[in-house]
Amino acid sequence: MSVLINDKIDNLLKSTSRSFYPTLKYLPKKVRGQIGLLYLLARVADTIADSKHGDTEELLRLLRKYNDVAQGKSTKLPDFSSLAEIQDNPNEAELLRNVDDVIEGLKVYSEDDRARMLECLDIIVGGQILDLERFGPANEGGNISALKNNSELDDYTFRVAGCVGVFWTKMSLAHIISIPSEQEEEFFEKGIRFGKALQMINILRDIPEDLRFGRCYIPLQELSKHGMEPSDLLIPDNIGKFRPLYDEYLDLTNEHLDAAIEYIKMLPETQFRLKASCMLPVLIGQRTVTLLRDGNILDSADRIKVTRDEIKSYARKLLRALIIPGGVRRLLEKNKDSGHK
């Protein structure tokens, strides 16, 4: 499936995303390339910010320089070769070696679409900069820093994912669908919550790894209410004490996923491809929440994730559901987290 500008960019996308890439094939061609390219542009920023070695100021410099070039404020791209060499993931290393090709891909699209992509990228990079300033580079064995409160958590999920919901919605309205003007505000709000749901899943799934690199996205204020501090989350046996708070965040994630389902329902019935591309991440998200609720997230040896085979199975179920009256609703209801309220 060639979804973007050329085989090179398409291969970069395929190699750096195990769950997002399958979604792209369902998207209408009018927006497929733009959404795929934004993913890669954001993945570059994410890879820079999450580099596990290096000086905070250097990573901040590289991140800002990268965004300046993407935004057209500069033409001098920094040298990412040294940063590529220290990546644990070879696919992310390859991405950093080809940043210029990713940025060049912007030229294929209209001025309006470039503006939409770059507006979203700017918010994401702003979130990554804030993250680096708050936590520093992801170095193993350092002190653990935590977000202060739920407001900081909500702001972070908007900056790195909720804004993608805004972008997705703008692209859909510009190229594919129209909805009554009185429904637009609600449509955008649910799109933002769609993005937040997916980021909350990332946060709640990656607690052990984030802690190992000194980052705790579970707010300090909430931990203290349960008589805990970030370092307590390093001990698997503390899951019983942590479980009530963890379940609260899983419940919040389910509420966001419910908003995502309402977002899908607002799409015109004739837009099978657009509905399918939105439904697949919701199905994967629902399944992930179920696995997280049933497992011990504090045990780093118990890596919780949806398998590739499960993703393929969901894709097949989705195709069947789309052609059966009421199939989509039944599939989403059946797939809900067993602890969903």
Query: pLDDT category, 316, cuts 50, 70, 90?
Result: confident
| Contact partners, residue 182, CB within 8 Å, separation at least 6 | none
Distance CA 199, CA 307 (A): 18
Domain 140-158+183-341 has CATH 1.50.40.10: no
- Terminal Cα-to-Cα distance of the chain (whole angstroms): 39
Domain boundaries, the chain: 1-139, 140-158+183-341
Q: Kindly give the pairing relationship between strand 145-146 and strand 215-216.
A: parallel
The answer to whether residue 63 scores a pLDDT higher than 60 is yes
Core vs surface per residue 261-295: b (16+ CB within 10 A) or e = bebbeebeeebbbbbbbbbbbbbbbbbbbbbbbee
Tokens representing residue 139 in the block: 């170095």
Distance CA 231, CA 139 (A): 16
**What is the mean pLDDT of the segment spanning 205-231?**
95
Cα separation values, 252 from 47, 275, 318, 341, Å:
27, 23, 25, 10
The answer to whether residue 127 scores a pLDDT higher than 90 is yes
**What is the mean pLDDT of the segment spanning 272-297?**
92
Residue 223 CA neighbour count, 13 Å, CB half: 18
Question: Residue 329 CB: number of other CB atoms within 10 A?
Answer: 12
Range name among 11-25, 74-88, 140-154, 189-203 with the lowest pLDDT average: 11-25
Cα separation values, 170 from 116, 178, 242, 278, Å:
8, 11, 39, 14
What residues does 145 pair with on adjacent strands? 215
Residue 189 CA neighbour count, 13 Å, CB half: 8
Nearest 5°: phi and psi at 305? -160, 155
The answer to whether residue 175 scores a pLDDT higher than 80 is yes
Query: pLDDT category, 319, cuts 50, 70, 90?
Result: confident
Residue 47 CA neighbour count, 13 Å, CB half: 28
Angle at which helix 239-265 crosses helix 184-205, to 10 degrees, equals: 150
